Structure 1
Amino acid sequence: MGWRGILGFEYGIVQAPLGPDISGPQLVAAVANAGALGLLRAPDWESPDYLRELIRKTRTLTDKPFGIGVVLAFPHEENLKVILDEKVAVLQTYWGDCTPELVAKVHSVGVKIVPQVGSIESAKLAIDAGVDGIIVQGREAGGHVIGQYSMPIPFNFCMLLIADGSIPSFILLQDSLILLVPTVVDLVGDRDIPVIAAGGIVDGRGYVAALALGAQGVCLGTRFLATEESYAHPIYKRKLVELDETEYTDVFGRARWPDAPHRVLQTPFFKEWRSLPTHESEANQSVIGHSTIHGVKKDIRRFAGTVPNMTTTGDLESMCMYAGEGVGLIKEILHASEVIRRLVEEAQLIIQQNIK
């Protein structure tokens, strides 16, 4: 029998929709075949024919259900039609409002909808809309971090921030999982909406910690990024094993996706440019590489928010590399099925050893 299953899947483990195309058919099928929920990532532009092909290719590799993630901040209506027409098991949404109208449309064809949220306010809206599950993303997560808000800085704290004679009027803060998850669990109450914790979780210890907070499942991005089946470039995967520090920043992708902070590996390139002036962005930078993303050839400019995939060429060491805070616990590249097996067995062992 399965253990901690959610949403009809054997295990309470979700593989995040790694962008822009890192969680492709091979990774998603491997996760699905191992009993967890694998999520493709839809293109950030309308490409319905390509998306239909992507879904069908995944189905040639697994007969298990899987899902697909859509960033609502980008054009997606035509892509959504394909997802619903193909009746993919789960639609995961991100960076946009999960409205009652959207939920009703998705439910009308028998598809489940699971938004990823980063605040209590967004969680309340999702619960009221009648979603099937909620992924709660903490500030520990890699890639784009949706949970952020601004608040005034106390005067005495401002004194610590004076650097060039100016004092900022606000600071961005993000909630951590240890605060967000139990609060959202309490909001859900006795409704059948599993809460799934995301952010910095890479092993069985993180799984158990999330369960202790009241979550019914976990969503992992960086750990599945560092697998044999992910579509990340080998250099990117190697950096995930070699490096162990990350930073929350807005250096990458400012022109394409403004006001979208993210957590990245502290590569030598990032350390050199972490204080990039606010008026700079990839828009006025030179091309440092090339990549084919979701079937489309793309130039990659310096400070672009595009991570290197298997097709990427050029100065990969200077490209963006997203990673969560748990990256320091990743010591090797594994097969996705092995990641899932270890997660479950480690979590079971920890619980058995601590139940007297």
Structure 2
Amino acid sequence: MTKIHFHFDHVGSYLRPQELKEAREQFSEGKISQSDLLAVQDKLVKDLVHHEVENGLQVVSDGEFGRSWWHLDFLWNLTGLESYLQKDSYKFHGAKTRTTNVRINGKIAENPEHPFYRDFQYLKSITPEGVTPKVTIPSPSLLFRDNRSDQALDHYDTWEAYLDGLAQAYHDTILHFYDLGARYVQLDDTTWAFLIQQLSQGSAEEKAQAEKNAKDAVYLINKALENLPEDLTTATHICRGNFQSTYLFEGGYNVVAEYLGQLNYDIFFLEYDDSRSGDFSPLATIWNNRPNVELVLGVITSKKPELEDIDAVIARINEAAQTVPLENLGISTQCGFASTEEGNILTEEDEWKKLQLIKTITDKVWG
């Protein structure tokens, strides 16, 4: 193993405390200043980190408390991108989101004043010694969907030049986080779940486009990760959508496993909390290409408060260990608890019980 494998990890987002929700609303209404909002946010992030460490996590996040969306807040704060309101919302199974989106308005580049840098610096400052603070940002492949790249060729001579420019913006951003002390950066990605659905159910034309997008995503992501410092751990979370306990996509990883195995990540968070995720056979394809990888199985759901049966989860881990070595596996919730500020339909007490369950199982399986 060339990187530390914790076996017990968490995707990143946590339910927003009511105090934070009220402060964000007051800020949007002009009743408090940004410094007032950040003071509330910092206090609650400090409480969160305390609870994360108290529950046995060796990797902590800021819960994404400084953002409304898991992805859009990061993207529209890059140079060359802007937010706008689209006509339709995202169609989750049983729910609709807000209509916010992001689009290109110039050449894309790292923003040295990106607000996520400030949030990470605060997180690092309150993280206890021996614990790793984690950065979570969306994958650049998110720009392939929802009309986000429609204006790309208005600003770049070719599609390849656009991919290279986007990769460079991400590379520079990750290096900036590294310079601030980050040693663990995670890129969250719903694009692969979309491609799974297209490759499995789409028309011939849709399948051809999905294959092109998959190849472009591998090129783009690996270009962004190229020549990063050796002591930086990079991870990805392959997500099927998570909004108020609903989802966007379904389907097993088989049709994209070949592409996932080409991605130069150290850790893969993979959803495996229900039948939407398929079986464990694709793990072998990823591991065969990257034998030092850690595959974190999302066998605990963040969408419902009910606790999983310990013996049943251990049986699933042992099943996965027939495909790849046990030392290459870890477990987590399948996604965060609040991919948007609305959060999933469970309580803060519920989320800590979920993490306590994961710690109990981790101790039983890996000692």
| Greater fraction helix | 2
TM-score grouping bracket, smaller chain normalisation: 0.3 to 0.5
Indicate the structure whose relative CO is greater, using CA pairs within 8 Å and at least 6 residues apart. 2
TM-score (norm: length of structure 2) = 0.46
